[in-house]
Amino acid sequence: MESKSVKLAPEMLVPRLGEHLLQKGIINEANLQRALAYQQESALAGEAPLLGQALIQLNLIDKETLDQAVTELIIQLRSALQSANRNLEQRVRERTAELNEALTRLSELNQMKANFISNISHELRTPLTHVKGYLELLVSESLGEVNAEQKHALTVSQRATARLEGMIEDLIMFSLASRGELSMKFSGVDVRRLVSLLVKSAEGKAAERGVTLTASLKDNLPFVRADSEKLSWALGQLIDNGIKFTESGGSVTVAVQEKGENLIQISVADSGVGIPKERIEEMFEPFHQLDGSSTRHYGGTGLGLSLVRQIIEAHGSLLDVKSAEGKGSTFQFPLLIARE
Ligand SMILES: Nc1ncnc2c1ncn2[C@@H]1O[C@H](COP(=O)(O)OP(=O)(O)O)[C@@H](O)[C@H]1O
Ligand SMILES: [Mg+2]
């Protein structure tokens, strides 16, 4: 069998040739119909002439006129195509400009939000410092004797201010992070001491909830390379979560141990509610809590973990989470041992 390579004739590229020829008065409707019928018959016979060929074969048009008509159509089509392209480019340019504007606006809004949170949290801190100071004076009876009942009221108020202060610190940390200002100040940190202090300060809260909080620390642990303040804040968050998401009777253990020659592994393990595997990633989203219902059982802003992860990653480390629903969770990460 002879294989014919199909050559694209300009005419094949031109749709609606019949219409064009009619419009130009080169053929009439009756002739067009004749040519179309002829095309169909030929198709049945196994040939498939193009409309132009059919017209020529039927002597309804001469080759020169056909060529000219086809050329005209191609020119028309090309200019239509060019103008469509120009329109398209124009529209793409316009859309890009719009999107750029929206993006600028969005980052401005983001900046505004971060500034707002930053300003508000600093503003909140000032009056709170006064409240704390006076409460301290009252509790220590520097302003006069207080009876047992009054002392109790004052202690409750102190605890509430401590919570408020914690939330304000979270917000300050969040606004720093979202403005990309989470700058790290590394030094050799006595992680043993840092953890002991954190555990000590969380003991009251744990006891209140009936949770046993223990620190498992070896003697003579080397210092780690860390930003002391941020590490302390992050660990505080993990301990706070551990206590918060553990029922009365459960336990939270903070352990620090050497791992190989260069690393110290820090872990916070609880025997609490646990986290379903498929929801672990979700809990790192800012302002997100797994119990998002309006009747939330646990307090908090949902900010902690997203920042904890950022802080740990800024230490060049990774936060690992292991959890089993109903059995508890372990959050752990390694830090480099500091070598002077
Ligand atoms: N130790 C944990 N056990 C179970 N769930 C946890 C634990 N830590 C965090 N979560 C889940 O992740 C969510 C986000 O935690 P976090 O960012 O610290 O916010 P918050 O403590 O303010 O709720 C929590 O609301 C909780 O649903
Ligand atoms: Mg938390």
Write out the two tokens for 181. Answer: 């200002």
Write out the two tokens for 186. Answer: 């590394």
Tell me, in angstroms, the distance from the centre of ligand 2 to residue 258's CA: 26
Spatial separation of the C-alpha atoms in residues 250 and 242, rounded to whole Å: 10
Write out the two tokens for 230. Answer: 């941020």
Q: Give the pLDDT confidence score for residue 4 in this predicted structure.
A: 47
Spatial separation of the C-alpha atoms in residues 274 and 296, rounded to whole Å: 16
At residue 162, the 3 state secondary structure works out as: helix
Spatial separation of the C-alpha atoms in residues 169 and 177, rounded to whole Å: 12
Q: Give the pLDDT confidence score for residue 104 in this predicted structure.
A: 94
Question: Structural domain boundaries of the chain?
Answer: 10-61, 118-178, 187-291+300-336
Lining ligand 1 with CB less than 6 A are: 237, 241-242, 245, 270, 272-275, 283, 289-291, 300-306, 329
Question: Mean pLDDT, consecutive 10-residue segments, the chain of 340 residues?
Answer: 48 71 91 90 86 91 91 88 92 96 92 84 91 96 95 94 88 81 90 96 93 93 94 95 95 95 96 92 84 64 88 95 94 92
Q: Which CATH number fits domain 187-291+300-336: 1.10.260.40, 3.90.170.10, 3.30.565.10, 3.40.50.2030?
A: 3.30.565.10
Q: Give the pLDDT confidence score for residue 149 in this predicted structure.
A: 96
pTM over 0.85: no
In the sheet that 251-259 helps form, which strands lie side by side, from edge to edge?
Answer: 212-217, 251-259, 263-270, 328-336, 320-324
Index of the ligand 1 atom closest to the CA of residue 305:
17
The separation between CA 232 and the C-alpha centre of its own chain, rounded to angstroms, equals: 25
